[in-house]
Structure 1
């Protein structure tokens, strides 16, 4: 007898994604910096069991963050709002209690030109009306830099509007993306991250990175975080296991290279690997020191060069260490090595790029223009890859 199966009753596995993130359990959350450091860098291990996610070295993990409860409390207090009041959060008409909406849904730590322009219609404050005038574009840009919703509400009142009017100005909080710091082959069903806690003072107030300080202060082992995997096709290990790799990753830029090294260790590749790592002090800020030195002893990591900028009277950075190893780097590149950079876009990546051109120019005995052309060719061949932010 043929048994008919009602497909509609079959239990479907949920498909997790950016729009439907997976609640990943936090297995480990430790500070990698030693006592006395001015920095705090968290090493986090999350369980992906049941997520259906997979990733390869070079991919990123998205975290959907929550806003700081203290900042949310300050907003409610400043405006004398009731946190239990229901507000509409999107065009679909979905609603949430105001406190929950400010915590989980809206971006409250960044301002945009559009936000201030719309806000100027909700107050009689002449200062704000002048600020959003087309002629004052540079002053508006200057005001926006480093300020948040609380600053705006304090600076330009009194406000002739409801909490709904204000939240209607806000955009949805975007996920924060972090380079994955582990190899799935080395850690099945897990994903590791290296997150530097961002704390600074601006415009008379202490400021915190939304996700980084949430992870540093409010997320504990056993808690969960909403996550998704984002593919990064432009930052990949060479297909050939015989290819050599040079990795430049100061600070949290070490993250994807930890995954590269783990992957190559598991696969027992024959290609050589060379890591340049830098930070402030070797005694407190040498991230993953024990692991890296062990990989070096085992021959997984062929060379390890470090630059600790505050250990010496003259500041030494990774680009200086590159120039010191100019000839050998050029030989590796000439023999087909892949060159990777991860970390700060504004300063480090530019300095490393300049150092690389200088090395090719000097050691290849060619003009600056020829060196730049060679680097452009490497880029086309995917032998020069950058993950900068």
Structure 2
């Protein structure tokens, strides 16, 4: 429901919202510009009487003095029969320059308020503001569900590409956009009579005046008792008319002042409802709150990007799922397909299954796992197709599935099968699929077959699973989905550093740049000048060895803004890809692609970071240190074999210690007289490590699985007095692993 409430208005109103956002951002600059040119005395320094006295000396034909919300003082006067308006210095009453409202800002305001139309345009602008309120609310609920609850909204987000950009910008801008949209909706509702206008803010005209000789304007008590910073408008009496009076409007109220006695003839305090309306207008326009205007303007500038990324997400989801009218409703579906995916790739397999089931005569409903209904009254078969995100976790479209499953009712006679998608290079391969299978079984559903896992989106494995389902159900399912091949780019080796040759454990640091298209090789994305895609240290590069369409992942030790792609690779005995990489010479080329890995990255902020690795696992850790430009505390524990043969990144780590990007380095070498492992060094520093964890430190571990298990045991021992363990740190995002 929330997705429809969010996406449908967004698609319908995108162009109008972009216009409103850009014009609103431009208008948000106006209060700041006015404030920058205004002279604003401190409170109590200048009274309205003092200002009026100085202004009248300079402008004998003064008719009106106005103070704008930004603090600028404007005098309207008549001279030689000609009307004029000047900005004046409130301290001296002297002219700063002619006052001429900007025609550009006036045009932009008309475009913002009414799309350069009359009431029809204003009505459209109000409707767009209301849609923005709806989108902000629905988007916030969707984001909360994606991150796993409201309390996680301020924590680092997972994902990459359009999803990541959309979510990060939305989280930054939602309060500002909601404030602008709600205030704009209110102002439009008042204009068209949907809500009542504020009233009672002005007093009635006085019935009598003293008619005496006008006193000097600087001596009038009511004006002397009014601070300039409270002034809105002062209208002077008509010359030589003893029955006329001053009209004064301030933030606190309005009144009429006798020009002879200087006392109020009538006064009306500003009612509460008028003050509220005034604040609503100020919150929307930023007038009088220039700093808020700039914040709202910055939030508005996210709308074009949110519109583009939102439209792309919708299109990719629609193209991937191809949800058409043959999707049965919940009440009539006899077969349900639930899909868990982070970037929609699993939907391609689900679509193929859906179509084949529909061809076999089934009434099929396909939907996200997060959309699990409380019951499907006629459902006989339930298929769950899900990927795993991060270290065995749920992908974005399934992160609330377990909670919804607890409310699921129709379990009697419903048979299910779970199909997991993942990569066997990762230790918790398809773990979420396994967890879902166990959870469904524990709810009393009948298992059609045990959970099946598919490695690297294998078309062959998917087809074989379909054949087994055919045999179990009697439904003819010839599943053939072949996912779109991963987009590859070309890399040229420019530098290498080799280690470990003396101890028969060759490990190399390899640095690549994008291949030059002029040399006849395909440039990145197949066109234009070659360049690196966006990536961060800790992300993965998938490498294809010659003659093999199966890629291997390697953790990145660099970021794209370094201008190089850097990996650290140990040569494995009989390893096809590692052997290929180790045989490269500068100038040789490879093909690869980027797999973002946001679950393995230091958390933002100034809390300490403990980096733990062994062997080639130092690669991404060195990349994290390289990017520590803010010099936050970083501690590295690393284990190798021999300091003379395979001390990886030794020169770089020395420089990082000198410039304080690295706070402390602890090394352990297993083929020396000391014969120590990285977990031994951590154990020796148990007290210091515990203190860092008490300070909120985050731990990142990278390297072999055996090393990671040993480190986990040691950290658990260190945590024992704190009554917590590694699993709790993992749930809090304070213990991350990249293990192979």
TM-score (norm 2): 0.32
Deviations 1:41-98 (A, max 9, x none): 11111113624511012101110112xxxxxxxxxxxxxxxxxxxxxxxxxxxxxxxx
Q: If you compute each CA radius of gyration, which structure gives the higher value, 1 or 2? A: 2
Pairs within 5 Å for 1:114-125: none
Q: How far apart are residue 28 of structure 1 and its match?
A: 1.4
Residues in 1 aligned to 2:661 and 2:502: alpha-carbon distance in whole angstroms: 31
Pairs within 5 Å for 1:194-209: 194-199=568-573, 208-209=574-575
Pairs within 5 Å for 1:274-313: 274-312=635-673
The corresponding residue for 1:58 is 538
Q: Output the aligned Cα RMSD.
A: 1.7
The corresponding residue for 1:228 is 593
- Runs of 4 or more off by more than 6 Å in structure 1? none
The corresponding residue for 2:136 is none
5+ residue gaps in structure 1?
A: 1-16, 67-103, 106-172, 200-207
The corresponding residue for 1:251 is 615
The corresponding residue for 2:719 is 360
> Does structure 2 conserve the Cα–Cα contact (< 8 Å) formed by 1:28 and 1:45?
yes
Q: How far apart are residue 319 of structure 1 and its match?
A: 0.5
Kindly indicate which of the two structures has a greater share of residues assigned to helix. Answer: 2
The corresponding residue for 1:331 is 691
5+ residue gaps in structure 2?
A: 1-483, 516-529
Match of residue 554, structure 2, among 164, 178, 186 = 178
Q: How far apart are residue 310 of structure 1 and its match?
A: 1.3
The corresponding residue for 1:20 is 487
Q: How far apart are residue 270 of structure 1 and its match?
A: 3.7
- Is 1:30 matched with 2:497? yes
Q: How many residues align?
A: 243
The alignment partner of 2:627 has SS state of helix
Deviations 1:4-56 (A, max 9, x none): xxxxxxxxxxxxx96231111111133133x6232111111111362451101
> Does structure 1 conserve the Cα–Cα contact (< 8 Å) formed by 2:631 and 2:660?
no
Q: Would the alpha carbon gap of residues 377 and 215 (structure 1) be closer, same or farther in structure 2, given more than 3 Å must change?
A: same
> Does structure 1 conserve the Cα–Cα contact (< 8 Å) formed by 2:493 and 2:512?
yes
The alignment partner of 1:331 has SS state of helix
Q: Would the alpha carbon gap of residues 47 and 325 (structure 1) be closer, same or farther in structure 2, given more than 3 Å must change?
A: same
Match of residue 239, structure 1, among 597, 600, 604 = 604
The alignment partner of 2:724 has SS state of helix
Residues in 2 aligned to 1:300 and 1:48: alpha-carbon distance in whole angstroms: 28
Q: Would the alpha carbon gap of residues 52 and 318 (structure 1) be closer, same or farther in structure 2, given more than 3 Å must change?
A: closer
The alignment partner of 1:23 has SS state of strand
Deviations 1:224-245 (A, max 9, x none): 10011101121012122x1210
Residues in 1 aligned to 2:578 and 2:704: alpha-carbon distance in whole angstroms: 16
Residues in 1 aligned to 2:715 and 2:654: alpha-carbon distance in whole angstroms: 25
- Is 1:273 matched with 2:638? no
> Does structure 2 conserve the Cα–Cα contact (< 8 Å) formed by 1:18 and 1:227?
no
Pairs within 5 Å for 1:96-245: 104-105=547-548, 173-185=549-561, 187-188=562-563, 190-199=564-573, 208-217=574-583, 219-240=584-605, 242-245=606-609
Q: Would the alpha carbon gap of residues 226 and 333 (structure 1) be closer, same or farther in structure 2, given more than 3 Å must change?
A: same
Residues in 2 aligned to 1:317 and 1:281: alpha-carbon distance in whole angstroms: 11
Residues in 2 aligned to 1:18 and 1:225: alpha-carbon distance in whole angstroms: 17
Residues in 2 aligned to 1:322 and 1:310: alpha-carbon distance in whole angstroms: 18
> Does structure 2 conserve the Cα–Cα contact (< 8 Å) formed by 1:183 and 1:262?
no
- Is 1:342 matched with 2:708? no
The alignment partner of 1:274 has SS state of strand
> Does structure 1 conserve the Cα–Cα contact (< 8 Å) formed by 2:533 and 2:560?
no
Residues in 1 aligned to 2:716 and 2:531: alpha-carbon distance in whole angstroms: 43
The corresponding residue for 1:260 is 624
> Does structure 2 conserve the Cα–Cα contact (< 8 Å) formed by 1:273 and 1:301?
yes
